[in-house]
Structure 1
């Protein structure tokens, strides 16, 4: 019999063709799926908005060993057609800057947060070994390991109550003068201020705040009468000590209940003033002896009008603010640490 006329051979040939077709079809579908998957993946990569640089969020907090601030970063996401950003999420980190001069450490705290989940985030404070924070829940950073605490390690009885609800103005740390010896006043005043508040016959106390004003001030020496009720000292005489004037000058102090910080070897105080009049003035820090001689001066490069925080300390003062504005650009936020002994400056950008 002719094999070509055998129906079984025809069925066999058809089956082989069908099987070959199925194999080719499967290969084509598989290849198409791979190509489509690659296109979707690459499309997301190409269309996805890259994560932004981390920016500071809230206030800086000083502990015994570090200055800490929260940083927020917008997570990678697809472009929002509506522009409302309803599907964007945010990561929150803590930036720890050691006061000893070492390099900063950035520690991720949480990611994928919606705006309402971190709107009230803040650093609560430290207890020497742990920095506590509230970011969608209370947590801590072990300052020795530089790692987040496990949830089981977070005990509420160790968590501090937190910082003040309102930001502390830099003006809190400004002082007009001090009694350097019994009967002797050393102050920073303008001519107008001497006439109004420090003229002979007026009274001063040991703790006198300084108002932040665009006035040219110079060092003054005053003679004081015996204190009344051990609080008020009547001014007998007062006069300028030197010719140089300093814009918006003030002595620095630890808090609003303190006299200016007293330095030793030689005896002196710390002064802050503005580098120049106008819109380009920066915050300048100087060490001054009790004779009105400037021992050293450093420029923080922080816009004096944008100085947002002063973080005092016995060995170093820290200043937080932004650089002078540059047209078309966002001003860089800075943390500047000034050593009180020699004026050594360490500057950290708060962009990460």
Structure 2
């Protein structure tokens, strides 16, 4: 009996040591990038934009290539943390690239793009989206969000390590681009809702003008409303600074807010919001800015689905959390979600046609 008890105690102590060592590894390996970081731009064209032409911009959260329509994610109440397999990731990436080619945007903003990740079976999605062989004619820039430690949750199928971020691609010159760290939780939650940033790129326009283009992916699962407010405050400050400098300003990406403000009514879904569906605080926008909504409510095509279960059209929870903010010197003619039925991501791409005013 004593031998059995000693054995149980030894096993318990060993497990305790392993848990403490793992927690120490996670904390010691965690570090944030600098608050402000210049980004490397990959140029394929030097042509400036012009006020004489209408352009199309697309924003697409690709869900690290792991989300076909029948996929469910554990942090949203579903079953999986990683993609089914490498073939699924490659198939989704091929679909995402094909969709981008079909839309043929002048500007493409991608979020949740893995450079390297266990969850995406180490498919380099950044390389695929910035490779001129896949998407020719674009200048591009990649901004890392996070490079996480090996995350051993869920225990039965750990999500593992991931190096991931956002990609901006422009059929024009990107004169410079800067990464700005966003405020995040400072407690243990920072290991669950990982690091965030925005990329701010300057695009030359004819007659010496500039388009400031901001790509973002705001926090999804944090319950800390102050963090959400602080992220938007930093964004709004960047927008105002650029506008006051005389620039055109477009912000695109995944806001993890209800961009219509009344998506439950539009889509006939539950009224109690999840952490990522609180109404976007349109009333707090800086002067000279608006949410580009167009006919999104009338079209009733969602940009995101909940990942608690496989997608079923007309039954699954859906909303619009992706979209664009524009300054008043940008004329918007159309905003539309491209209905892909969530074939390759838990998001559908959203587009906006616009012209830069004289």
What TM bracket, shorter-length normalisation? under 0.3
Higher normalized strand content (fraction of residues): 1
Higher normalized helix content (fraction of residues): 2
Question: Which structure would you say has the larger RCO, counting Cα contacts within 8 Å and 6 or more residues apart?
Answer: 2
TM-score when normalising by structure 2: 0.22
Q: Whose Rg is larger?
A: 1
